[in-house]
Amino acid sequence: MYFVVNPAAGRGRGRKVLDRLQPLLRSDDVVVVSEGPGDCQRLAAEGAAKHPAVTVVGGDGTVCEVINGIGDAGFTAALGILPVGTANDLASSLGIPRDFDVALAIVRAGNVHPVDLGLIVRGEQRRYFVTTVGAGINALIASQAQAETDKAVGSPIVYIGAALRGIFRYSALPVEIEAGEFSLHGPILMMSVGNVPKEGGLFWLAPNARPDDGFLHLLIWSDMPLWLRHWYALKLVLGGTQKLKRASLRAVKSVTLRAIEDTPFYVDGEYDPLRAGESVEMTVQEGKLAVLAPPR
């Protein structure tokens, strides 16, 4: 088996897991270690060309890099996950725990499960995502959470502080959204396009989503007064925000977003804001990726 390790994942937990993995390696195992951002995609592509599976030691951002590397090699290799990130949303949705021994046993068992991906097209760039793409408050929260020193403990609780700050400071921005027969032209507080039910390990953006249901799940918050935002934020944690008057959730096959002004934007937790006038298209790629996961 081929392992791609991000030693910086989980603020250093990746390196600790590497130390635990070393004495358990088999004679045909290969371990490579990332040296910085973007390196995991290259390493995954090299491994996927030679091995039937690529196992990532990292969080959702690293998983996204590795998936794109597997894609560069033609999706001939399966993905294994030893989750060590802050939220681990994909692993959680597939029943892969943070417990190292259990996760490694799942990878070794070799049970393959087909999983959908999202394909995002942004100008000349084509990139796959597996958890969430978002614009607005949630993108701002992702940006702030990345910078939190508390994230050193590797706990999803870091997102709560970022959410509380972002949700009351953010002003709605105008966008254009097209998703099949649905369209919206106007200001929004948040847009999320998800492939999994939770984001940040805490927030139920799409409670009924599964990474193998053949859909992306589009959640939109329209503008609302500051006094109402705390209730919507609480419902994100408890579940049920999609039932509130100023929110809507629908299963879609594709979404196009156009930013009228500079807009906070992120992909699988990585902040990458949109410029005014820039458009992105997201489409579901059904069963595109094979993942080593527990039997359902």
Map the chain to HEC letters. CEEEECCCHHHHHHHHHHHHHHHHCCCCCEEEECCCCCHHHHHHHHHHCCCCEEEEEECHHHHHHHHHHHHHCCCCCEEEEEECCCCCHHHHHCCCCCCHHHHHHHHHHCCEEEEEEEEEEECCEEEEECCEEEEEHHHHHHHHHHCCHHHHHCCCCHHHHHHHHHHHHCCCEEEEEEECCEEEEEEEEEEEEECCCEECCCEECCCCCCCCCCCEEEEEEECCCHHHHHHHHHHHHHCCHHHCCCEEEEEECEEEEEECCCECEEECCEECCECCCCEEEEEEEEEEEEEECCCC
Model pLDDT, residue 227: 86
Model pLDDT, residue 296: 77
Together in a domain, 8 and 48: yes
Residue 144 lies in a domain: yes
Model pLDDT, residue 264: 93
Together in a domain, 100 and 162: no
Model pLDDT, residue 9: 83
Residue 116 lies in a domain: no
Residue 296 lies in a domain: no
Residue 227 lies in a domain: yes
Residue-wise over 265-292: b if at least 16 C-beta within 10 A, else e?
bbbbbbbbebeeebebebebbeebbbbb
Together in a domain, 89 and 167: no
Residue 117 lies in a domain: no
Together in a domain, 257 and 183: yes
Model pLDDT, residue 152: 44
Model pLDDT, residue 150: 43
Together in a domain, 64 and 203: no
Together in a domain, 66 and 207: no
CATH number at residue 6: 3.40.50.10330
Together in a domain, 150 and 189: yes
Residues with pLDDT less than 70, the chain: 142-168
Together in a domain, 67 and 195: no
Together in a domain, 216 and 86: no
Together in a domain, 182 and 74: no
Residue 260 lies in a domain: yes
Together in a domain, 35 and 63: yes
Residue 294 lies in a domain: no
pTM: 0.90
Together in a domain, 195 and 283: yes
Model pLDDT, residue 180: 93
Segments forming the whole domain that contains residue 41: 2-110
Model pLDDT, residue 149: 40
Model pLDDT, residue 167: 67
Identify the domain boundary among 77, 110, 143: 110
Burial group, residue 16, by CB count within 10 angstroms (0-12, 13-18, 19+): middle
Residue 223 lies in a domain: yes
Please state the domain count of the chain. 2
Q: 220 near 184, Cβ under 8 Å?
A: yes
> Tokens 């870091």 — which residue?
158
CATH number at residue 206: 2.60.200.40
